[in-house]
Chain A
Amino acid sequence: MTDRYDAIVVGGGHNGLVCSALLGKAGKQVLVLEANDQVGGAAVTREFVDGFAVSACAHLLYQLQPSVRKDLKLSPKLASEDMTTVVLDEQGEHVRIQGNSVLGVSDADAKSFRGFHKRMTRFADLLRTYLNKPPPRLGTRGLSDLLTLGRLGIDIRLLGKTEMREFLRLIGMNIHDELDERFESSLLKGALSLDAVLGTHLGPRSPNTIMTYLYRLAGDHGRVASPTGGMGSISDELAKAARESGVTIRTAMPVSRIIIDNGRVAGVETENGERFDSMTVVSNADPKRTIMDLVGARHVETGFTHRIHHLRMRGNAAKLHLALDGLPTIAGLSKKDYAERILIAPDEHYVERAFNPAKYGESSPEPVLEITFPSFRDAKLAPPSQHVMSAVVQYAPYDRKGGWTDAARQEFEAAAIRAIERFAPDIAQRITASELLTPADIEREFHITGGHWHHGELTLDQFLFVRPVCSAAQYRMPVDGLYLCGAGAHPGGGVSGAAGRNAARAILSREKAA
């Protein structure tokens, strides 16, 4: 005896939850199967040592799409809102960036930054429109595809002659050259470089990093927030919204395969042998895992397999969690600065040099870091007067030569601590426990191939029309009834919900057309 659903969503990551909630609201019977014990995928809060809880993977909110908030009536509680980015300086002359203003740099830089920010947010807004709809297909005569393409052309033209030229010039460029043209301050350049390359296998000199920077701004103009209770609270809210719209969510139910019967989707089978039937399966897993592991290459065609096989998704971002018996001392940092987003990226060359080893499968001896102390504003995350530090540390290549042995992990963790020590000399003494999640760990624990944030490198050759791969950018996979709703689909990663929302709309509109 098996249950039959209108749709089964494989994976209860935030995109899967958004997608299921929207399908549920449309009256569908939806089942979400999540492998882990809690929903949220990479947006979860959990204890890594007794009494210390942390956002285990993603730790900051900056991309949640307003459209998703609106559709699901979300109102996340935020511990820190509109956080300032503090770029650490060894002499304590930190640079602080917030919105379009930057402090601690020359007047010329500050002025230049306002211009830069204005232009970038304008371009990001243009991009955002297209993040919230399925990319059009090229070369077809379909009306909606042509309309979207035409609209894209018009929107670019509406930027005006000068800005349009700038847009066309910048879109493929690297961030390094643009920053070099505009700014003097090393710290500012370092910080903006880091923003452009976080979560990617790119360095600031790699062309395409303006695009990744724009992508970052396309959520909320780069405004960063830290939710109360960690990122898990966002997922919990999404799960609540899903349940309220009638969605069944089952955790600790890893799916072992998507059942293909006579060339189309028939349901899924879980690792414990249960079978669930549905003519529609929506995968929140990454494209490689979905096609290669869950569906099986034999159920798709060779050209498609080839493309999925060559999808680039080698993660470089590790997570470091520290349990601290007190806040570390950082010269020049005011008390309230500990609530902010703190970067270690002293200059753009430092960032590029941190990237170099990653190209050869080695981890950075001098890594870059994005640090938060979430317990500073959200005391429940740590025991009284103690603190938790959550940091993204780059670069820790997934396919490290020689593998992520214990020695390799220790070496990288030590490198991260050393990098922090340059600014916070007492950090080592404050550590009572630590956890390092390399991309390999992230792959294992969160079931993301390569441990890559975006479920696939966010470069122009894997973006828009060609995300995740050619001819499959509209959420529909080349197996009848199979859809993709995760970060591997358009537009990409970050806790934005855009992919999940777009996928739900694609599924519903397809049904209408059928």
Chain B
Amino acid sequence: MSIAEVPQGRLRSPFYSRISAADTVNQWHEWKGYSSADALYCEDTEYFAIRNATAVFDLTPMTKYRITGPDAPEYINRLVTRDMNRIKTGRVAYAVWCDDRGQVIDDGTIFHLKEGEYRLCSQERHFAWLQTAAIGFDVSIVLETEDIAALAVQGPTSFTVLSTMGLNGLEDLKPFGLMNFDFDGADLMVSRTGFTGDLGYELWIEPGKAELLWDALFEAGKLHGIRAMGTNALELARIEAGYLAAYQDFLPADATMRAGRTRSPLELGLGWLVDFKKPNFNGRRALAEEKRRGSAWRLVKLDIEGNKPAHHSYIFAKEKGNKSEIGFITSAAWSPVCKQNIAIGTVRTPHGAVGSTVWVEVFYQREMHWSRAMAQATVVDKPFWFPPRRSATPPGRY
């Protein structure tokens, strides 16, 4: 009698049938065991759907945990660096969590679903850490990645699309708010969140209704430019929005091999997420010490001259005569909406103050030959793309 093997190869999300139907380029990668599309038909078109209409992205592989129990609020508050008491029910918070050394393990969003009940979403898996953190707390942590199908619906017409679909009352939903609707007898949760820096929503529903939801959404969006998108378009949008990605702009602290490869929230420009008024949270002592002594690294958003994306580049203090680099680029792109050459990077302090100038060594290839250029870059403090429509409530109809 044999015992069935666990699924071999890649898993398919509940939206797979719809996404593969939209797919023409057959370019996929693996995301936490799932097949996830790089692109579906044309990266540019997919990207401009985010910025001009509505683009839909399958978020299902995102790791999701449900945290409940009498101690859940206290537990969450000890876990993450920000003060979660300020996040009322029906609200969502972006948060980071650290190890005892104050180094970032991951970032993610925490949904305060109802009194004492939370959902934590992150790119990486953290069940073992969350369980260890639960020692001494009366909480229950349940992995629910496969139990919830999720879509990001992003772009200026996204509100119109969802309203057309019959989600009434959405006009009152502020950024980082969430609402629940009935969809074909199932609970459809809509949060005004996203990874694109534009007006947008994320939809959460049981997997059995996934295809129905997709169909309803695309029916409603037919006249509003709705399109499915792959990861590449989303990646470009997130750099424009200045969001960080694990394994690119920082490494999960518990996964690093070499000393000095981890980053603290202060070093990632996320000091605003660290609330020292809380008496205890993971990393507090180390972060307080870092604050006192000063950080070793600083995350910078760079506006780089020219138009050659600075992928994997070194950052220097001066154009010439540098003894060594002061840092490197972790994400880079040419921004089609800003018409700017943008990048996110990490530099050693005291370099990288906002408004200062650094130099980036850009390599680019033209017809087989490689060229090297030193490009001047300015450290900026705001996201590259931050349209007013992103936070307008009620959102405009486009």
Contacts and interface: CB of A to CB of B under 8 A. Distances in A.
Asked whether the complex places CB atoms of A and B closer than 8 A, the reply is yes
Interface of A: 260-264, 292, 296-306, 309, 471, 478
B135 A303 contact: no
A287 to B, nearest CB: 14
Interface string B264-306: 0000000000000001111111000000000000000000000
B127 interface: no
Given A296-B136, A297-B136, A302 B280 contact: no
A476 to B, nearest CB: 11
B137 interface: yes
Given A262-B279, A263-B280, A478-B285, A303 B100 contact: yes
Given A263-B284, A478-B285, A302 B279 contact: no
A299 B284 CA distance: 11
Contacts of B129: 302
A262 B276 CA distance: 11
B101 to A, nearest CB: 8
B280 A298 contact: yes
Size range of the chain B interface in the assembly: 20 to 34
B132 interface: yes
Interface string B56-95: 0000000000000001001100110000000000000000
A305 B285 contact: no
B133 interface: yes
Contact of A303 (B78, B99, B136, B280): B99
Nearest to B254: A303
Considering residues B71, B74, B279, which has the most beta carbons from chain A within 10 angstroms of its beta carbon? B279
A326 B22 CA distance: 94
Contact of B100 (A292, A296, A299, A302): A302
Contacts of B132: 302, 305-306, 309
A471 B74 CA distance: 25
Contact of B282 (A261, A292, A301, A309): A301
B285 A302 contact: no
B136 A301 contact: no
A361 B121 CA distance: 41
A305 B283 contact: no
Contacts of A292: 135-136
Interface class of chain A by DSSP: helix
Contacts of A298: 71, 74-75, 78, 136-137, 280
A471 B79 CA distance: 20
Given A263-B284, A297-B137, A304 B78 contact: no
A333 to B, nearest CB: 52
Contacts of A263: 279-280, 284
Considering residues A264, A300, A303, which has the most beta carbons from chain B within 10 angstroms of its beta carbon? A303
Nearest to B278: A263
Considering residues B101, B280, B284, which has the most beta carbons from chain A within 10 angstroms of its beta carbon? B280
A301 B279 contact: no
A303 B103 CA distance: 12
A297 B282 CA distance: 11
Contacts of B74: 298
A309 B137 CA distance: 14
Given A263-B279, A298-B74, A299-B280, A304 B135 contact: no
B133 A302 contact: yes
A300 B285 CA distance: 10
A261 B279 CA distance: 8
B282 A303 contact: yes
Contacts, number: 55
B77 to A, nearest CB: 9
A263 B288 CA distance: 13
A468 to B, nearest CB: 15
B148 to A, nearest CB: 26
19 contacts: A260-B280, A261-B279, A263-B279, A263-B284, A264-B279, A296-B136, A297-B135, A298-B78, A298-B137, A301-B280, A301-B281, A301-B283, A301-B284, A302-B78, A302-B132, A302-B133, A303-B99, A306-B132, A309-B132
B249 to A, nearest CB: 23
Q: List the 10 shortest-distance A-B pairs measured between CB atoms, nearest first.
A: A297-B136, A263-B279, A303-B100, A302-B133, A301-B100, A262-B279, A301-B282, A306-B132, A297-B135, A302-B282
A298 B279 CA distance: 11
B280 A305 contact: no
Contacts of A299: 280
B137 A302 contact: no
Contacts of B133: 302, 305
Considering residues B74, B78, B79, B136, which has the most beta carbons from chain A within 10 angstroms of its beta carbon? B136
Contacts of B137: 297-298
A260 to B, nearest CB: 8
Contacts of A261: 279
Interface in B90-117: 99-101
Given A302-B100, A304-B100, A305-B133, 12 more contacts: A292-B136, A298-B78, A298-B137, A300-B280, A301-B100, A301-B284, A302-B99, A305-B136, A306-B132, A309-B135, A471-B100, A478-B100
Contacts of B78: 298, 302
A479 to B, nearest CB: 8
A305 B101 CA distance: 13
Nearest to A478: B285
Interface string B126-148: 00010011011100000000000
Nearest to B279: A263
B363 to A, nearest CB: 37
A264 B101 CA distance: 18
A297 B281 CA distance: 11
Nearest to A300: B280
A299 B280 CA distance: 6
Nearest to A292: B136
Contacts of B281: 301
B136 to A, nearest CB: 3
Nearest to B133: A302
A478 B280 CA distance: 11
B280 to A, nearest CB: 5
A301 B285 contact: yes
A296 B71 CA distance: 13
Interface in B346-395: none
A303 B99 CA distance: 7
Contacts of B284: 263, 301
A303 B253 CA distance: 12
Contacts of A303: 99-101, 282
Contacts of A304: 100
Given A263-B284, A298-B74, A298-B78, A305 B135 contact: yes
Contacts of A300: 280
Interface in B228-276: none
A244 to B, nearest CB: 38
A264 B280 CA distance: 9
Nearest to B281: A301
A478 B100 CA distance: 10
Nearest to B74: A298
Contacts of A306: 132, 135
Interface in B322-349: none
A304 B285 CA distance: 12
B201 to A, nearest CB: 33
Contacts of A260: 279-280
A297 B138 CA distance: 11
Considering residues A292, A296, A305, A309, which has the most beta carbons from chain B within 10 angstroms of its beta carbon? A305
Contacts of A302: 78-79, 99-100, 129, 132-133, 135, 282
